[in-house]
């Protein structure tokens, strides 16, 4: 019996691949514009930017193979396929060469984006949250432990919509690699066990419509399949 005055539901979590255990999800940090080709398609110069971050709530997590309703409040829902880091050990001011020691594992995620709302926020100089941090905006596969798959630094990252390739990149194209992202973020906030980091998306982001099927893939990490109801 808890002492809380209301019940807020279960701890958000993700399955661990090949196990009946689950990974509890704390906070979700997302890196913006971390592939040069995507930064360029959004109208920015990739060479001049330090990494920057935004967040999604833990309960925006969606399990693999879900069938979702098209979200409210948008006419332009975009896909962004991303490698996701699962932090196992917290810390602050983490050195780049110590950063991988804080990683529990990896998954494949979609940073679903209400691009019209985000675009308006950018224009008005307002926060991005309503474009990024809405219900069911963070589908992620089962996580795979780094103790089994190592730390992916290169390999294909792709997204198909209805069987057609829309995004096709390589993890090696990240402007800030995994250890650098962890180190940089840990100098801004104290990382906690259970935190996820969405590591940015390659070029080819675009709108989806009701009835579409999204298939994401990262070599050596997994496959994410999400359908939107017609």
- Applying CB under 5 A, the residues found at the interface with Mn ion are 80, 111, 201
* 3-class SS letters over the chain: CCCCCCCCCCCCEEEECCCCCEEECCCEEEECCCEHHHHHHCCCCHHHCCCCEEEECHHHEEECCCEECCCCCCCCEEECEEEEEEECCCECCCCHHHHHHHEEEEEEEECCEEHHHHHHHHHHCCCCHHHHCCCCCEEECCEEEHHHHCCCCCCEEEEEECCEEEEEEEHHHECCCHHHHHHHHHCCCCECCCCEEECCCCCCCEEECCCCEEEEEECCCEEEEEEECC
CB of 4 to Mn ion, least distance (A): 34
CB of 116 to Mn ion, least distance (A): 16
CB-nearer residue toward Mn ion: 80 or 215 = 80
Report yes or no: 71 and 139 within 8 Å, Cβ to Cβ. no
Beta bridge partner(s), residue 87: 103
CB of 200 to Mn ion, least distance (A): 6
CB of 139 to Mn ion, least distance (A): 13
Alpha-carbon radius of gyration of the chain: 17
CB-nearer residue toward Mn ion: 145 or 201 = 201
Q: Give me the residue whose beta carbon is nearest to Mn ion.
A: 111
CB of 65 to Mn ion, least distance (A): 21
CB-nearer residue toward Mn ion: 16 or 108 = 108
CB-nearer residue toward Mn ion: 82 or 145 = 82
CB-nearer residue toward Mn ion: 111 or 215 = 111
Give the β-pairing of 138-140 and 67-68: unpaired
CB-nearer residue toward Mn ion: 16 or 159 = 159
CB-nearer residue toward Mn ion: 64 or 113 = 113
CB of 132 to Mn ion, least distance (A): 8
CB of 201 to Mn ion, least distance (A): 5
Report yes or no: 175 and 40 within 8 Å, Cβ to Cβ. no
């Amino acid at each position: 019996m808890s002492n809380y005055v209301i019940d807020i539901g279960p701890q958000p979590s993700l399955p661990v691949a090949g196990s009946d255990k689950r990974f509890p999800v704390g906070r979700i940090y997302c890196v913006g514009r971390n592939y040069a080709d995507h930064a360029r398609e959004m109208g920015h110069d990739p060479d001049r930017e330090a990494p920057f971050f935004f967040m999604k709530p833990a309960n925006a997590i969606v399990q693999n193979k879900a069938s979702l309703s098209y979200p409210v409040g948008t006419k332009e829902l975009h896909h962004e396929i991303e490698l996701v880091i699962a932090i196992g050990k917290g810390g602050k001011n983490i050195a780049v060469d110590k950063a991988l020691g804080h990683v529990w594992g990896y998954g494949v995620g979609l940073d679903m984006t209400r691009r019209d709302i985000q675009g308006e926020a950018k224009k008005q100089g307002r926060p991005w949250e309503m474009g990024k941090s809405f219900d069911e905006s963070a589908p992620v596969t089962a996580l795979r432990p780094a103790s089994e798959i190592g730390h992916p630094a290169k390999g294909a990252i792709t997204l198909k919509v209805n069987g057609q390739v829309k995004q096709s990149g390589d993890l090696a194209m990240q402007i800030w690699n995994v250890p650098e992202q962890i180190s940089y973020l840990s100098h801004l906030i104290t990382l906690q066990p259970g935190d996820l980091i969405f590591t940015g998306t390659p070029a080819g982001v675009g709108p989806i419509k009701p009835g579409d099927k999204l298939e994401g893939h990262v070599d050596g990490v997994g496959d994410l399949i999400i359908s939107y109801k017609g």
